[in-house]
Amino acid sequence: MSDLLERLRGRGWRLTAQRRVVAEVLDGDHVHYTADEVHAKAANLLPEISRATVYNTLGELVSLGEVLEVSTDGRAKRYDPNAHHAHQHLVCSRCGTIRDVHPSGDLIAGLPAEERFGFQVAAVEVTYRGLCPACAAA
Amino acid sequence: MSDLLERLRGRGWRLTAQRRVVAEVLDGDHVHYTADEVHAKAANLLPEISRATVYNTLGELVSLGEVLEVSTDGRAKRYDPNAHHAHQHLVCSRCGTIRDVHPSGDLIAGLPAEERFGFQVAAVEVTYRGLCPACAAA
DNA sequence: TCCTACATTGGACTTTGTCTAAGTCAAGAT
DNA sequence: ATCTTGACTTAGACAAAGTCCAATGTAGGA
C-alpha cells in the first residue's frame, strides 16, 4: 500500500496531511480498525485532525475501492485495507479476533438463479465463525 | 411460529399484550424488519407500546434462539423470525431489503483446512449483495 | 506569488440502541 | 375471587456511531 498515495494523486486527489495520516494508519497494521480507532491513531500523528475528516477520507477510500468496509457485529464498521485480493473473514466466536481467509471456488455461483429473485448479484461476503485455537484451549 | 407463545410460556415467560404483539408482527411477514419497523407495526396494534419494550422483547427472542439478529449493513439490525431453517441472505445494496435464500452445496467445506488456522469452524454466514429489481429499475 | 476550488473543522444533528426509576400487571397462592 | 409479588412496561435521559453544514484553510495550477 506504499504507493497508495501516488495512485490516489493520479486520480485527482489533493494530497493533504490528513489524508496521508489516515492512509498511514491503515497501512501500518493488519488489524481492522473502527473509524474511531483510526481517528485516535491518526490524532497521535496529527493532533488537530477532526472526526469528520476521518469519516470523509475513509468513505472516499471505500468508494475508490482501496479499502473495504466490514460490519460483522452491527456495531461500529471496520475498515480493511486489504482490498486488492478478494478474501473473506474467519471470526472467533469468543474473542472476536478476525483473520483473513481465502475460500476455494466461485462463491457467487453457489446461489442458484432461481434463488436470486431478480437481484443483480454483484458481491458476496462470507463470515466463518468458530473458536480460535487460543479460546478452544482455554 | 403460531405455537411460539406456547413454547415461551413453557419457558417461564410471562405472557403480556406487548410480547404477543411483537411476536405477531414477526410472524406476519417474511421480510426482516428493523427494531424501529417492528415498533411501528406493533404500535398499530397496541398504540402505547414503548420502544424499550420492543428492544427488550426482541433481545429475549434472540437469546432464546427463536429469532436471528442480522446486521448486514452496519446500520440498524434486522430480525429474522426464520431461525429454525438454515438459510443465508440476499441484501439490496441500495435500500437494504433482505431476502432469505438457500445456496447449494456445503458452505463450510469451501474453506480448505490450511485456511482454517486451527479454528474449529462451526458456522458460516453468507451475504449476497446486489440491486433488487425495484432499485435496479429506479 | 496569487487564486480558487477543493478540503478541513467543530459542532449541531440524526439514528440506533441502552439504561433507569417508577408504575403496572400476569399468574400463582390463599 | 382476591391478594401478592416479582417480573414487565413505560417515558425519557443518555450513549455510541455517523452525517451534515457554514465558515475557514490550503494544495497545486496559472
Average pLDDT on B60-84 reads 85
CB A128 within 8 A of CB A91: yes
For chain C, which bases have at least one atom within 7 A of a protein Cβ? Answer: 6-11, 15-20, 25-27
Average pLDDT on B97-120 reads 89
Q: Which pLDDT belongs to residue B28?
A: 66
CATH number at residue B96: 3.30.1490.190
Q: Which pLDDT belongs to residue B37?
A: 93
Contacts 24+ apart (CB under 8 A), A65-71: A66/A4, A66/A7, A66/A8, A67/A26, A69/B74, A70/A32, A70/A98, A71/B71, A71/B72, A71/B73, A71/B74
Confidence category of residue B85, pLDDT binned at 50, 70, 90: confident
Judge: A116–B90 Cβ closer than 8 Å, yes or no: yes
Residue nearest to nucleotide D25 (CA to C1'): A16
Q: Which pLDDT belongs to residue B34?
A: 93
Residues A16 and A62 in one domain: yes
What pLDDT, in 10s, does the model give residues A49-93? 999 999 999 999 998 888 888 877 767 898 988 777 778 888 877
CB B116 within 8 A of CB A104: no
Average pLDDT on A28-39 reads 83
Q: How many domains does chain B have?
A: 2
What pLDDT, in 10s, does the model give residues A114-128? 999 999 998 898 989
Contacts of B124 in chain A (CB under 8 A): 126-129
User: In the predicted model, is pLDDT for residue B95 greater than 80?
Assistant: no
The whole domain housing B43 covers: 4-80
User: In the predicted model, is pLDDT for residue B45 greater than 80?
Assistant: yes
Nucleotide nearest to B46 (CA to C1'): D9
Q: Percent of chain A scored above 90 by pLDDT?
A: 38
Average pLDDT on B89-112 reads 86
Residues B70 and B112 in one domain: no
Residues B102 and B76 in one domain: no
Residues B122 and B56 in one domain: no
Q: Which pLDDT belongs to residue A1?
A: 47
The CA distance from A64 to the nearest CA of chain B, in Å, is 16
Quick check: A117 contacting B, CB < 8 Å? yes
- Backbone dihedral region for residue B12 (phi beyond 0: left; psi -120 to 50: alpha; all else: beta): left
Residues A21 and A68 in one domain: yes
Judge: B111–A128 Cβ closer than 8 Å, yes or no: yes
The radius of gyration of chain B from alpha carbons, rounded to an integer in Å, stands at 17
Residues A23 and A47 in one domain: yes
